[in-house]
Structure 1
């Protein structure tokens, strides 16, 4: 069996070559919006006054061409799968609702209760999902083939699509301008796959905007206060305006609690906020009265066609009952939610575990080949509350007993997004001992994926004197979108990709949290 990667990675460089590539990479990043806002001083200015380049890898990451193609192909099956899960209220109630996760996880319970209270009063049949399916390469031993295994599926605030497009362009630029000093035969033009993620994600939002039927309505970005990853969002906003003449509005949950309202026809209106500059407004359709909007009247109400959440995935985004009430108001509006509460719940780790049980996936995926291909990307998963016999009395559920026994090979996951929430390996036994019995149903155990050994990279962070060489682990994410509704079918597309790379031995993987850097794909045969 041929080794992976086919030759030592990254290629060896002299100090002068490494410095030259680092300078070329960082200046390209600063010139092409591959940026982050810096950590704010105690009294930040009201508008961004400076930026730093995002953390990045100097070389792209080798990924087998066949596995990359598989991940792209499977995204369309995953798009449809999670659209169908979001439409199955009975399934979500059983898994994430009362008697399930909602009983023992306060955040999930609050989302589910909000959805339960409003779902019979919703007037918009369509939902939009901007998804990302994350994978690691799996090779437990050097004599086994490299496989593709899914880490998780993201249904809310799937980020870094735009910056990943920029870092892929950066790597192509470094190859075009330096040939990477001829350091590796693997670096050649046909091995840098195109990345058009901004176009792909914007196409999904534009499709939802078109379905809403009001050309002058905006796309509402719900964002976190003090967002540092703003350029990833801005590039998507610019694409919507330049390619589709769709204007956007940015507001936080706190701002919307005082600005958002519903019209008599359930149009979502919001006043003020930050919006893209006006271009000539097309005529407003006759099915609704015109909504005034002028740069000279910033508090005039603005109609939202799509609500795109880049916040709302963590409990800290909700400051109390008013925030959940706002989420319910948004859900009851005519604006298309991205995601709806149902679709956000569908992305829960417990749903991922339940789908892996025998026969459950086939409830939603009717093509046997697709179902088999999806299952091949999964590792073993089970709930900590799983029992050998549902009617038997056990001092500790079999799922928890198994997690103790196999702790060195496992990660435990709760129903959270955003990183920093999992429990790994040696920390598992003591965590299980402290975990209240009733909370076990909110956690799943997942077998650890074993990435190929011996892959390295040069990691570049703002302010560091030189790229840092390290053994690394890289995660491939594939984006997709789906516009769907009961009786409406599912319109969906694969929408691009990203790579995030971190030092080997680092369990968490967030770029914003400082664990990972942005990377791109180098196809190898």
Structure 2
């Protein structure tokens, strides 16, 4: 694997200013945008009148071509793995039995799902997954130009965002190359084959359309479940527009509160939405969650009740409650234990999801390909491995990150913050003896060490001035999976996302301006 070049190449101030102007106007003209942060005390307006560019990079960031190809090539194996986990209720229950006592959110999700299983026969056995597997490059050594391999950060089974904006970032960088030639500052920036041909917007929209087709009612719609005051609205809207234009499928976007007001189940468990505009009630074919992944989305039991109402319907959920549970960090850690992955993918007693990879069945080589992308993962329970991990975290915190069962970023504990955080949890345990140790809500993960010496010019959303930053890039690979019941199985890789941030930040939120949406320049 070729080492990464020192980046970026030298540019004049005039060249940077010209690129920034072209990037901004391209972004605004093509929906590579966010809603601006509202003024203090105000809300995002119901009818937008202003937009800002999404955080972006002026140049694509170098990324090893073999690592990019590798990440894309194993996505369908990951799709199959998490489909099997989703259908293996005994496996999920065994994991959640240990997570639920120390994590109220996961407990509520698991218990509500179990109640549905116990009360009724599952109304809709078909699951739709729109996944994203995230990777960082891990460097061998510390010198500039060192070789690097991909290591998985996490696997997302709910609300995998930025598919539309990612495609627009790739298109923007290709446009800048064709328009300006990047002023001949580096030969790779004029090499058309170095720019990725990314169709994540079309591929994810096609995945939603596959779910709609499996439901079987042409007039039914896709329901986007969204957060109130969503600023990343154009990423979502682009999917709606593609669904209608390419697949003749209508969409509607509502919050939990709005669904509670307008939604109802009929006797056949069909979910209908009343229209405040005097139209006929709308049948829902697919429920696509761009919310519901964080405790903040469930401020009262009413939101949980609405989630259960949707889960009981015939609509195909993306994801179902089971598929959301499958994305828990604890599942990631357990799969990494010796033999567990192999048993899940190859074991004859595991659920059949109806597809392998390519033209054949899953193999030991597929298992090895996944394990090759994993870094060290440990429990923090009372097992021998858990005790070992606890000691490692206290004695060598600079090597690790502490991860809870959460999605959405901003939840992890890094490096030297780990020992005092564990001490705080221990003190809380002493105040309530007899309960499961709070640290069992977390897993310990070995830190991935990205290559040094890569920089880029990043532009924060709403700002026009690029800043030179020492950067780290995280590659996400999207996947689409339709499985369960009598549906014709679907298993596809669905494009990529590159998020680039300053090395000084451990977290990577795009909407809050930490990360920029980027694209790879294949080296």
- State the distance in 2 between where 1:516 and 1:22 align: 17
Deviation at 1:145, TM superposition (A): 3.3
Checking the alignment, whether the CA contact within 8 Å between 1:83 and 1:490 is kept in structure 2 is no
Deviation at 1:142, TM superposition (A): 4.5
1:151 aligns with 2:132: no
Task: Provide Cα deviations, 1:359-406, integer angstroms capped at 9, x if missing partner.
Answer: 0001222210000000000000101115228xxxxxx93321221122
SS of the residue aligned with 1:297? coil
Cα offset, 1:154, TM superposition: 0.3
Quote the offset at 1:45 in angstroms: 3.9
Give how far 1:461 is off.
1.6
How far does residue 193 in structure 1 lie from its aligned partner after superposition? 1.4
Q: Do the aligned partners of residues 450 and 45 (structure 1) sit closer, same or farther apart at CA in structure 2, a change above 3 Å counting?
A: closer
Counterpart-to-counterpart distance in 2, 1:465 and 1:178: 18
Structure 2 CA distance for aligned equivalents of residues 185 and 345 of structure 1: 46
CA displacement, residues 338-376 of structure 1 (integer Å, 9 cap, x when unaligned): 000000000000000000000000122221000000000
Give the whole-Å Cα distance in 1 for the aligned partners of 2:44 and 2:366. Answer: 50
1:297 aligns with 2:278: yes
SS at match of 2:187: coil
Answering whether residue 296 of structure 2 is matched by residue 316 of structure 1, we say yes
Counterparts of residues 306-345 of structure 1 (less than 5 Å): 306-345=286-325
Indicate the SS of the match to 2:130. strand
Q: For the Cα contact (< 8 Å) 2:24–2:464, is it kept in 1? A: no
Aligned pairs, number: 491
Distance 1:20 1:233 in 2: 30
Q: Which of the residues 6, 10, 13 maps onto 1:15?
A: 13
Distance 2:232 2:45 in 1: 17
Deviation, 1:197, is 0.6
Per-residue deviation, 1:30 = 0.4
Give 1:254 deviation, angstroms.
1.1
Aligned-residue offset at 1:119 = 2.2
Instruction: Determine the C-alpha separation between the residues in 2 that align with 1:471 and 1:73.
Output: 29
Distance in 2 separating the partners of 1:80 and 1:489: 14
* Deviation of 1:165 (Å): 0.3
For the residues of structure 2 that align with 1:205 and 1:488, how far apart are their CA atoms?
14
CA distance in 2 between counterparts of 1:146 and 1:251 reads 43
Structure-2 residue corresponding to 1:290: none
Q: In the alignment, is residue 208 of structure 1 matched against residue 207 of structure 2?
A: no
Match of 2:35 in 1: 37
Work out the CA distance in 1 between the residues paired with 2:456 and 2:366. 34
Consecutive unaligned residues of structure 1, counting only runs of 5 or more, are 274-295, 390-395
Could you tell me whether the CA contact under 8 Å between 1:134 and 1:151 is conserved in 2?
Answer: yes
| Partner Cα distance (1:109, 1:340) in 2 | 16
SS at 1:178 equivalent: helix
Greater Cα offset, 361-370 or 216-225: 361-370
Structure 2 distance, partners of 1:316, 1:127, is: 25
The partner residue of 1:236 within 236, 239, 242 is 239
The aligned residue for residue 89 of structure 1 is 89
- Check conservation: 2:53, 2:462, Cα contact below 8 A: no
TM-score (norm 2): 0.91
CA separation of 1:489/1:447 partners in 2, compared to 1, >3 Å: closer, same or farther? farther
- Measured in 2, the distance between the counterparts of 1:149 and 1:134 equals 8
Give the drift of 1:264. 1.3
The answer to whether structure 1 residue 268 and structure 2 residue 264 are counterparts is no
Q: How does 1:439-450 map to 2 (within 5 A)?
A: 439-450=438-449
| CA RMSD of superposed structures (Å) | 1.6
| Cα deviation code 1:81-128 (max 9, x no counterpart) | 0011000100110112x3x10111000000001100102422111010
2:260 to 257, 267, 286: 257
SS in 2 for 1:10: coil
Give the direction of change, closer, same or farther, for the CA distance of 1:434–1:463 in structure 2 (3 Å limit).
same
**Residue-by-residue CA offset, 1:194-221 (whole Å, 9 max, x unaligned):** 0111111011111110010100000000
Name 1:124's counterpart in structure 2: 124
Segments of 5+ residues of structure 2 without an aligned counterpart are 347-362, 430-436
Q: TM-score, normalised by structure 1?
A: 0.91
Measured at CA, do residues 133 and 310 of structure 1 come closer, stay the same or move farther in structure 2, by a change above 3 Å?
A: same
Range that drifts further, 222-231 or 324-333: 324-333
Q: Describe the SS at the equivalent of 1:364.
A: helix
Match of 2:406 in 1: 416
Q: Give the corresponding residue for 2:349.
A: none
Say whether the 8 Å CA contact 1:386–1:400 is kept in structure 2: no
| Pairwise CA distance, 1:308 | 0.1
Q: Does residue 178 of structure 2 align to residue 176 of structure 1? A: yes
The corresponding residue for 2:452 is: 453
Counterpart CA distance in 2 for 1:520 and 1:321 is 41
